Amino acid sequence: MHFELRDYQFLKVKQYLKQKFLLFSNGASQTSTNWLAVEQSLSKSNLKYYKVYNKIALKVLTNSVYNNIKQAIKGTFFFLKLDGNTNLLTKQQLFKKLKSVFFTLLSIKLNNKIYSIVQIKKIKSLNYRSNMSIFYQFLSANLKCVYGITYKKISKQCDLNT
């Protein structure tokens, strides 16, 4: 079986898109001496990177469910993922690490959904269970209120009709 570099790059991009937690970012073009410092700070931050070639990434994303992220791929584009050793990461730690590494965060893929930076800044943490519990509490409180209001209106209308 004969593999070409292009086929390998397609497979690598598809493999990265299967990750549960993935960061999409832009990085500035660096000289080799600066890039060495960037790689060292990435390894200290427990982040792995993969530089994505734009045309290959666009072709892969066109045929995937992440079609909406295509507009973000301009210039030097990177996939960043957490090293396997770190599972707990707060939002503040993540933004602090990326600022020290000279990357601009574009969006985050979390549990097969892509969130923009504006959406990420509004949530309290990156923990899925805590976010879902907050969402459940919000729904239960608001649905009880709405149910109570509509129940009172319906009961008043029924009293008026009889």
Tens-place pLDDT, residues 74-125: 778 888 888 765 555 677 777 777 777 777 788 888 778 888 888 877 777 7
> In which band, very low, low, confident or very high, does the pLDDT at 140 lie, cut at 50, 70 and 90?
confident
Crossing angle for the helix pair 32-44 and 91-101, to the nearest 10 degrees: 160
Cα 77 from Cα 58, distance rounded (Å): 11
pLDDT digits (tens, 9 = 90+) for 5-50: 888 888 888 888 888 888 888 876 666 677 888 888 888 877 888 8
CA angle centred on 123, ends 144 and 75, rounded to 5°: 140
pLDDT at 157 exceeding the cut of 80: no
pLDDT score at 116:
82
157 vs 132, which has greater pLDDT? 132
Cα 90 from Cα 80, distance rounded (Å): 16
The pLDDT of 39-64, averaged and rounded, is: 83
CATH of 5-124, one of 3.10.450.50, 3.40.710.10, 3.40.1350.10, 3.30.70.1730: 3.30.70.1730
